[in-house]
Homo-oligomer: A and B are copies of this chain.
Amino acid sequence: MSAAVAHEPLTRSVEDYLKAIYQLSPEGRPASTSEIANLLALSPPSVTGMVKRLSEHGLLEHVPYRGVQLTDAGRRAALRMVRRHRLIEAYLVEFLGYSWDTVHEEAERLEHAVSETMIERMAGALGNPSVDPHGDPIPAADGSILERACIALSDVPIGENVEISRVHESQPERLRYIASLGLRPGVQVTVVDRQPFDDLVTIEVGTDKQVIGRELGHALLCARKVKP
């Protein structure tokens, strides 16, 4: 099926495309040209052009006007980049004094420049962590990834107590705001009220109450407590 097998090293652009497509469709649903263009801040024609090249290299399949899906080779390469990105973020926070709002930008560049050796040394220094500073799971070196079941804070029923497990946000300003509310992976919150419009939920964090809007409520992914 896949055309080219011998893999010359991928370019920075190619690596970012594959990672973006993976993140747009972790389960394999096709990603559209404009979604990709939007995520990477490129024009749609640029994406069409790159997609054509990538499909010739066997990294994805493209049905014109319908979207793209990663092949196995493409998904492997994408997961490799996700591993790199998240390990770098974790390393920067643990060893170089970064906070979670500044690591993304740095990792976005370093993920392409670091050798396999260095990534594994960093993983070792961290004790092979399973999640990054935003709570996102770090794929193993073999490409396996453990996605824990989670629910958006916006969808948590009234009265339920949940633990924030992931924060899906990369803009520094927003991340600082979230931190200022005391919200980060591992924190317990209880939903005490919900509005019938705009996905507004009121939560209790420790002793504080906060009203959370739609966007933020969808960015905060929570783990439900197991029924005893």
Residues of A bordering B, CB below 8 Å: 92, 95-98, 102, 105-106, 109-110, 112-115, 117-118, 121-122, 125
Contacts and interface: CB of A to CB of B under 8 A. Distances in A.
21 contacts: A92-B118, A95-B95, A95-B125, A96-B118, A96-B121, A96-B122, A96-B125, A97-B121, A98-B121, A102-B117, A105-B115, A106-B115, A106-B117, A106-B118, A109-B113, A109-B114, A109-B115, A110-B110, A110-B113, A110-B114, A112-B113
Contacts of A95: 95, 125
- Pick from A92, A98, A102, A117 the residue with the most CB of B within 10 Å: A117
Interface of A is mostly: helix
Nearest to A115: B106
A97 B123 CA distance: 13
A20 B105 CA distance: 28
Contacts of A125: 95-96
A110 B97 CA distance: 19
A200 to B, nearest CB: 37
